[in-house]
Each structure stands twice: as structure tokens, then as C-alpha cells.
Amino acid sequence: MRIGELAERAGTTPRALRYYEQLGLLPARRAGNGYRAYDEADLRLLREIRMLQDFGFELEETRPFVECLRAGHPEGDSCPASLEVYRRKLAELDACLARLEAVRQQVAGQFERAVRARDALAAEADRAPLCELTTEEE
């Protein structure tokens, strides 16, 4: 298949495919007429790359998965290098979640403090005598 068809089937653009080719993630094969030629295996590589990118993986992080598929493995994540990328990504996500949880706790603390302060002011206002501006007549 040609680049336009592959791009359409993979849900990307020909420009992206040329970029993947430059990075060595997608093979650069040419047909006899000089056009780029792709097959179903290339579509599978692209789907793997796109799925990993959707999960937040950088393009370079997809390389072990692509190489695993190219080596003939049925899944891109069945090789040790792919598993190591998963390990690193999980550690990165865990660290991110920990930072988010710390921020959430700080915001929740500020919110609770603000609600208590507002409630204290409202209670104080309920107990305070009303002030009226009146003039005394003599």
C-alpha cells in the first residue's frame, strides 16, 4: 500500500509517517516506481506506536516495542527491553500521582481552612448586635 492509504488506515498523516521513517521506526521501502511501499506489518507497527503515544509514551520510548515486533514476536511488549520501558513509565506515573496527591491534600487543607474561616465569620455576625445609625432627639 502507498503512504496515503497507510496514513488513513493508521489514523495519522503522511507527514507523520515520513517522520517515523526518518527516526527509523518505520521501514523506508520503495516500490519499483519509486513510491513508498508498506504492508500490513507496517500498519501493525504504526498501531503499536499510536497506542503507546495515546498512553503518553514519547516516540523514542516506542522503539523497543517496534523492534520487538520487527523481530517477529507476536506482541510488541513481549521483549525484555519493552518491559523495561513499561517499568520506567510506571515509575514515572507513580511519581506523578504522588505529586498530584500531595497537591490535592494541600488544596483540600486550604479549602477546609477557608470554609472554617467563613463559617466563623458568619457565626460572629449572627451574634453581633445590629448597628443602626440613628440620631437622638433631644
In sequence order, the 6+-apart residues with CB closer than 8 A to the CB of 12 are: 46, 50
pLDDT digits (tens, 9 = 90+) for 59-111: 999 999 999 999 999 999 999 999 999 999 999 999 999 999 999 999 999 99
Q: What is the pLDDT of residue 56?
A: 93
**Residue 36 bridge partners (DSSP):** 30
- 43/34 Cα distance (integer angstroms): 20
pLDDT at 128 over 70: no
Q: What is the pTM of this model?
A: 0.75
Task: Express the helix, strand and coil content of the chain in percent, nearest 5 each.
Answer: 65, 0, 30
Which CATH architecture is the domain 3-93 placed in? Orthogonal Bundle (1.10)
Domain ranges of the chain: 3-93
Three-class secondary structure of residue 57 per DSSP: coil
Rg (CA), the chain: 30
8 A C-beta contact, residue 7 and residue 16: yes
